[in-house]
Amino acid sequence: MDNTELTIKTDKIYDGKILKLRVDTVELPNAKYSKREIIEHHPAVCVVALTDDDEILMVSQYRKPLDKTLLEIPAGGIELDELPKDAAARELLEETGYRADTMEYLCEFYTTPGFCTEKIHAFFATNLTLAAQDLDHDEFIEVEKIPFDDIIKRIGRCEISDGKSIAAVLYYNTFRRNQ
């Protein structure tokens, strides 16, 4: 069945620094109309980065929407004309100070397909060497190295509450660990 929704009208509400908001009036498969509120967000990357001692690099970052600090894997937006893999290497270096000699593709997924265009490409980084952190002017991030087995236990105990981190780490653990 084709459930494509035809756009009848688009209202552009907001064009900001990291996102845009538009409201589409759509024709539904039953020929009725509805509104779709859509956040346009650039694609992003996230990185499961493991040291030679089998520790995962996590970043602790205050998140204004939640008014709390979360522990997440390194991540960030892909810049214009940048390849996802290059963005992953750049974000890993900027946020953690580590350079990865090996950067492998894991998977990709939409974070909130119901209302947002954002897609995240997940990578797996190894052969890390310490260089220097280089944060954006409005980023305040602390790096934690956590034994990989511990991060799995912490996910199991629901102590990691960032969706992309759960998806990417468990993807790596299920399909690429010990392969």
Among 102, 130, 144, 175, binds its own copies (CB under 8 A): 175
* Per CB under 8 A, 143 contacts its own copies: no
Question: How far apart are alpha carbons 45 and 28 in whole angstroms?
Answer: 33
* Per CB under 8 A, 111 contacts its own copies: yes
* Per CB under 8 A, 162 contacts its own copies: yes
CA 117 to chain centre: 13
Question: How far apart are alpha carbons 64 and 97 in whole angstroms?
Answer: 23
* Per CB under 8 A, 115 contacts its own copies: yes
DSSP helix/strand/coil, 139? coil
Binders of its own copies among 3-42, rule CB under 8 A?
3-5, 13-14, 16-19, 21, 23-24, 26, 28-30, 32, 34-41
Smallest gap, in angstroms, from Cβ of residue 169 to its own copies? Answer: 9
Smallest gap, in angstroms, from Cβ of residue 130 to its own copies? Answer: 20
* Per CB under 8 A, 135 contacts its own copies: no
Whole-angstrom Cα Rg for the chain: 19
Binders of its own copies among 77-106, rule CB under 8 A?
none
Residue 104 CB neighbour total at 10 angstroms: 14
Question: How far apart are alpha carbons 138 and 2 in whole angstroms?
Answer: 44
Question: How far apart are alpha carbons 95 and 42 in whole angstroms?
Answer: 19
Smallest gap, in angstroms, from Cβ of residue 129 to its own copies? Answer: 25
